[in-house]
Amino acid sequence: MNYLDCCTLCPKNCKVNRNNGEIGFCNATNKIKIAKYCLHFWEEPCISGNNGSGTIFFSNCNLKCIFCQNYDISTKNHGEEVSIEDFANICINLQNNGALNINLVTPTHFIPLIRDGLLLAKNKGLHIPIIYNTSSYENVNSLKLLEGLIDIYLPDLKYYDNKLAENFSKAKNYFSVAKEAINEMYRQVGTPKFNGNIMTKGVIVRHLLLPTHSDDSKKILLYLHNTYKDNIYISIMNQYTPIRHIEKYKELNNKVDDYEYDSLVNYACDIGITKAFIQEGETCSESFIPDFSIFSNK
């Protein structure tokens, strides 16, 4: 079965024939498109470690977040198309350069191609953990194509209120879709496992606090804790960066208030969350956004 003949890889279910040149919501073709690959040192400590995470930033996206930090690649589609063999060789290159893992960022719309590339890379000697780094706007059936290939899932849980998801990311039924996707991810990889301080298996759910929307964030944290207890990690992020002026949603033109973030962290502690990552210091800066004018680390 060729999944690109009638593309339903994500919940947009565009049903376009990408092998025949048709383009759906994400603007992806039938070839993998990569904006950048490099050793990345700004993930959670158990992901980046001292050596760095071998991160591959894919072009295009099945969401259109109005505050996206990676706008140049998610919406403007900057990047280079590569073959499946090129992708496999990139994975091997990152491993040879000391990467602790292969970190696939926004990979949803390329799942069948990535699967083939990972199988080829493993035949070439790829042995480090594979991370699937996603918005969670996923079809469960697509995730099942990756079972046995992914070691760590790094999903966002962006919104509890679906109205926010529609307004900010053009995503219908985001929460119901994302919670089923995360449940499938957990089913595949189970509880966290570590080699020393480095994660080798498990799920870390990320949540980015948006300015003035801490009530929605609290609902997300409560849902995750009630559902998974200590069987996953939660990464509570304060790095929201207003990189473009958004007239319609003026609250998004501000950074997250320190008090608002501290209150959210205190709430997490109060409800019993113990396995969590928090951010300290000045993380809301454009300096944390990769330079996508440079394709690789060569």
The 10 Å Cβ neighbour count of residue 288 is 12
pLDDT of residue 50: 97
pLDDT of residue 285: 41
**Sequential pLDDT tens for the chain (298 residues):** 799 999 999 999 999 999 999 999 999 999 999 999 999 999 999 999 999 999 999 999 999 999 998 878 888 789 999 999 999 999 999 999 999 999 999 999 999 999 999 999 999 999 999 999 999 999 999 999 999 999 999 999 999 999 999 999 999 999 999 999 999 999 999 999 999 999 999 999 999 999 999 999 999 999 999 999 999 999 999 999 887 778 788 899 999 999 999 999 999 999 999 999 999 865 444 334 445 454 454 4
pLDDT of residue 61: 96
pLDDT of residue 288: 45
pLDDT of residue 282: 55
Q: In 3D, which of 19, 24, 27, 14 has the Cα closest to residue 2?
A: 19
- Structural domain spans, the chain: 29-288
Give pairs for 166-172: CB < 8 Å, separation 24+.
167/249, 168/65, 168/66, 168/67, 168/210, 168/249, 168/252, 169/63, 169/64, 169/65, 169/66, 169/135, 169/137, 170/63, 170/64, 171/11, 171/63, 171/137, 172/11
Question: The domain 29-288: what is its CATH number?
Answer: 3.20.20.70
Q: How far is CA 296 from CA 55, 56, 80, 118, in A?
A: 10, 9, 11, 19
For CA atoms 25, 150, 286, 255, give the dihedral sign: positive
